[in-house]
Amino acid sequence: MKAMSQKILKGQETKSTILNVAKKMFGKKGFAETSVEGIISELQITKGALYHHFTNKRQIFFEVCRMINESASRKWENMSWNAFKKSIPNLWDLADDSDFVQIWIRDSYSVLTKEEMISLEEHYIKKPIQDFLERMVKEKYIENLPSFEEAYIMVGMINQGLWLLTSVDKKNKAKTKQNLTKIILNYLHLREIKKF
């Protein structure tokens, strides 16, 4: 029994290592220029070890996208309203993360199917935001609006802001981040329950 659980743990470690190395390679080279052979070479593992965990490069890429979104979604679980508002300026730092930009902004929409993108966004982005909004309504921070639709609107604003930041030249980036923060914070201010 102990040997079996150690084998499972070793397998999970191998899978995690493959994903971390693949993330770096996809981030640096992009999906098209990253090869399974390159990942295998970087890890110094056999093809069998890689194919034991993944069927192809696309599946590795999907899992890397899932990993990126899963880590982001955990932040919403216990966040307070004030912490959320304070975190808005930090959202735009994702546009400075070259791995994130290459994987999520540039490659994901052309590599993954519409169904895969919807699955990732629903589960790891929109659902956590929807749950957060519903919790904020219960805690009486914001007015009650349809949280499903509002989560889509918020994700859309954030995604469009990130897209914009990837195309703005460096000298205007700081000002654009300030403007995006101001827009989102103004929207959030309108959502708050006014306490007289």
Q: How far is the CA of 191 from the CAs of 51, 77, 88, 152, 177, in angstroms? A: 49, 20, 15, 15, 21
Note the pLDDT tens digit of each residue in 30-50. 999 999 999 999 999 889 989
* The predicted structure's pLDDT at residue 174: 97
pLDDT of amino acid 10? 63
pLDDT at position 26 is 98
CB atoms closer than 10 angstroms to residue 134 = 16
Amino acid (1-letter code) at residue 188: L
User: Does 21 reside within a domain?
Assistant: no
Residue 147 falls within a domain, yes or no? yes
Cα–Cα distance for residue pair 187/189, rounded to 1 Å:
5
Whether pLDDT at 8 is above 70? no
In a domain, 40, yes or no: no
For the chain, the domain total comes to 1
**How do residues 108-126 score in pLDDT, each as one tens digit?**
999 999 999 999 989 988 9
Mean pLDDT over all residues of the chain? 91
Average pLDDT score over residue span 96-101: 93
Domain assignment present for residue 152? The answer is yes
CA distance 74 to 162: 20
| 31 within domain boundaries | no
pLDDT number for residue 5:
43
- What is the average per-residue pLDDT within 140-165? 93
Count CB neighbours of 85 within 10 A: 17
**How many residues are listed for the chain in this entry?**
196
Confidence bin at 74 (pLDDT 50/70/90)? confident
Query: Would you say residue 27 lies in a domain?
Result: no
Average of pLDDT values for 53-73? Answer: 93
Per-residue pLDDT band at 6 (split at 50, 70, 90): very low
Decide if 48 is inside a domain: no
Q: What's the whole-number mean pLDDT along residues 188-192? A: 94
Work out the burial of residue 129: count CB atoms within 10 Å of its CB; fewer than 13 is exposed, 13-18 middle, 19 or more buried: buried
3-state secondary structure of 72: helix
Residue 134 belongs to domain spanning = 58-191
User: Is 85:143 a contact under the CB 8 Å cutoff?
Assistant: no
User: C-alpha distances in angstroms, 21 versus 30, 45, 150?
Assistant: 13, 12, 36
Whether 3 shows a pLDDT value over 70: the answer reads no
**How is 78-116 classified by DSSP, letter by letter?**
T--HHHHHHHHHHHGGGGG-HHHIIIIIIIHHHHS-HHH
Domain assignment present for 95: yes
